[in-house]
Amino acid sequence: MPSRLQLVTLLAFALPALCAAAPSVSRLTPPSELFAANNSSGPVIARFLPGQRFDLQATVRLDAGATLADFRFLVDGVETRPAAGTTSVVTTGLTLPKDVNAAVVSQRAFSLKKPGVHTLSVRATQSDGQSVSASGNFEIVALERNGRLAKNIIILLGDGMGASQRTAARIMGRGYAQGKAQSPLAMDTFPVTGMVMTSSLDGIVTDSSPGMSNYVTGNKSANNTEGVFPDDTADAFDNPRIEYLSEYLHRTQGKALGIVTTADVFDATPAAMAVHTSNRGYGTGIVDQFLDDRGLTGLTVLMGGGRKWFLPNGDKLKANGTLDGQPMNGSQRDARSDYELPADLVAGWGAARGAKDAGRDLIKDFEGAGFAYAPDKAGLAAAASASKLLGLFSYSNMNVAFDKINKRRGASTIVDDYGFPDQPMLDEMASAALNVLAKHKQGFVAMIEGASIDKQEHLMDTDRWLLEVLEFDRAVQVAKDFAAKHPDTIVIVTADHECSGASIIGASTKTMTALQAATATPGAAAQRDAVVGTYQASKFPKYTIAADGYPVSTDVDFKMLIGYGANADRYETWLAHPTPTQDSQQPFVGSAPQSTYPATPNVRNASTGFLVTGQVPGESAVHTATDVPLSAYGRGAAAFTGVMDNTDVFFKLAKIVGAR
């Protein structure tokens, strides 16, 4: 008879073997609480419009040595009937541990019309006949038509623009008197305002990819991914897709899509309107997909920075790290960040297959597809008669309003350091975009992004993000004016998330001369305790606004002061920084003059400011989970009141334009 110890030992070895002796399902997509937590009373995670397309997928773990013999998806117990070529089984290139034998099974571009919560099941059988089934759920949301429909949707997205950023821009741009704002921001005049919960699929704090795509897919994506659900394969472009608002409305109503940003156009927010990828960093594939899948999205206007992804890359890196001698054109196209889709995805969605083509001349291809190309502000004016428009105004992210406006005033040549002296302001881009989109009789979906509100908040460059909000608000006015003339338009202005935990802590008690003098005395006593005026000591900071709409200077006596609740270590002087902080996305960031700019906020002002110790590691401020305001104007605006999830916005917009 075995001893007690021998029994325990036997069991310990036998149990894992027993458990493994059957296939299991470790992921079922779309995501649900029913599958993930066996929770049938939790919220339904995945919701779709009637007929909105999405991919079904499961990861099936097989016994060692076994192969997958069969799989099928069932909805409410009835087998789905996939169209020819739209299913796949992937067993290689998985991101699971090496000793796991698994198959990722997919059915592409599924859709369902019947409203309600549905059960999704997968049934899989391995080569020895053992089978497994697992279930989750999703919802088809019925939209009842009532009221007059809108034709056009304009989404103004202030990246990282929470309530503090709106308030601070109002104080700077409009001024206060005895506690009252002298006048409102354009976004303040929108009649309806609600609050939005911004979390992503995998964290309370979102990054910009799901921050945007959740608004326009109706579903939660994971951080760093856009228009897709997570999967267990390494390929960044094969993830289970969710049909975008632009795609759904192009397919069902023929609407056009316009994307306008001050960022590089491959950046998370613009890409999360139209491109499906699990890696927001894959710029070559992202910009290629903008053009290649224009038949799905209706892409008609694309405007921003990012020319580095459109220029053919003829440079070849030699073994010694030098280039092959051709003049560098700034291209950062690279096969490693490009895409090529699997056959089932192409068959299911009617998507372009793509190709790894670093040498592609994408500007030429856009022009070949009928797009007018504007390389600068002058070119933008010249393209006024275009029916499709591509504008690429810099290699990567455009210069910020602070530096663009100073160039126009002849007060600084910072933009020249980037090689693009004639960049448009966001309101000028918005105006050109709406002019082109208005020619499309079926209406349009436009997204206009103030991208560097967020980027300068990460850098805690207060004066630069403040002017970004003012620039963005001028674009809000352009959209409002458009909607006033075209009343079949709904305009929303919101953010994808808050960034930096910015707070208006008060104002300086010093004149500018005294504040500048304080930098001679390092330490908090001279630069914090003697400077920061709180409560009534903050008075009402006064900025003189020039005819161009921006402050003559942000360095004024008794200036407004901003603190950061989500900050990394930095040195603070409260003064505007004469140069921007380095932007690692720029192709020539390593060469002078850009390389002479401060590398991070942590070294900026190290010799003149006082150290503010942050709560987060790293060198920049981070996004926060705080709800953000959303203001609405135009037809259907009344729907946007109360506290809503970011995915709710999708269904409200769809209803306003009569999706069903």
The residues that touch Zn ion, with contacts defined as CB under 5 A, are 159, 208, 454, 496
Residue with Cβ nearer Zn ion (649 or 659): 649
Residue with Cβ nearer Zn ion (160 or 506): 160
Residue least distant from Zn ion (Cβ): 208
Distance set, CA 371 to CA 168, 175, 207, 270 (Å): 39, 42, 31, 18
Residue with Cβ nearer Zn ion (34 or 157): 157
CB of 206 to Zn ion, least distance (A): 8
Residue with Cβ nearer Zn ion (102 or 212): 212
CB of 261 to Zn ion, least distance (A): 11
Residue with Cβ nearer Zn ion (32 or 567): 567
What is the separation of C-alpha 162 from the centre of its chain, rounded to a whole number of angstroms? 15
Residue with Cβ nearer Zn ion (25 or 622): 622
State the chain's maximal CA–CA distance in angstroms.
96
Of 332, 330, 350, residue with least CA distance to 341: 350
Residue with Cβ nearer Zn ion (232 or 457): 457
How many alpha carbons lie under 13 Å from residue 371 in its C-beta half-sphere?
Answer: 26
Residue with Cβ nearer Zn ion (458 or 474): 458
d(CA 247, CA 226): 14
- Three-state SS string over 516-578 comes to HHHCCCCCHHHHHHCCEECHHHHCCCCCCECCCCCECCCCCCCCEEEEECCCCCEEECCCCCC
Residue with Cβ nearer Zn ion (243 or 454): 454
Residues near 344 by Cβ (< 8 Å), separated by ≥ 6? 85, 86, 87, 88, 106, 108
d(CA 386, CA 382): 9
CB of 196 to Zn ion, least distance (A): 13
Residue with Cβ nearer Zn ion (226 or 292): 226
- Kindly tell me the number of DSSP H helices and DSSP E strands found in the chain: 19, 28
- Strands 101-110 and 180-181 turn out to be unpaired
d(CA 383, CA 364): 16
Coil/strand/helix, residue 71: strand
CB of 620 to Zn ion, least distance (A): 13
User: What is the amino acid identity at position 202?
Assistant: D
CB of 454 to Zn ion, least distance (A): 5
Buried b or exposed e, range 570-606, using 16+ CB within 10 angstroms = bbbbbbbbeebbbbebbbbbeeeebeebbebbbebbe
Residue with Cβ nearer Zn ion (474 or 497): 497
CB of 157 to Zn ion, least distance (A): 8
d(CA 654, CA 660): 8
CB of 460 to Zn ion, least distance (A): 16
CB of 605 to Zn ion, least distance (A): 25
d(CA 71, CA 83): 15
Residue with Cβ nearer Zn ion (159 or 468): 159
Question: Which DSSP category does 317 fall into?
Answer: B
Of 448, 444, 409, residue with least CA distance to 429: 448
CB of 311 to Zn ion, least distance (A): 26
Of 283, 274, 306, residue with least CA distance to 392: 306
DSSP codes, 623-653: EE---EEEEEEETTGGGG-EEEEHHHHHHHH
Residue with Cβ nearer Zn ion (430 or 495): 495
CB of 431 to Zn ion, least distance (A): 24
CB of 449 to Zn ion, least distance (A): 9
Residue with tokens 């959303």: 630
Coil/strand/helix, residue 78: strand
d(CA 137, CA 512): 61
Residue with Cβ nearer Zn ion (122 or 273): 273
d(CA 619, CA 614): 9
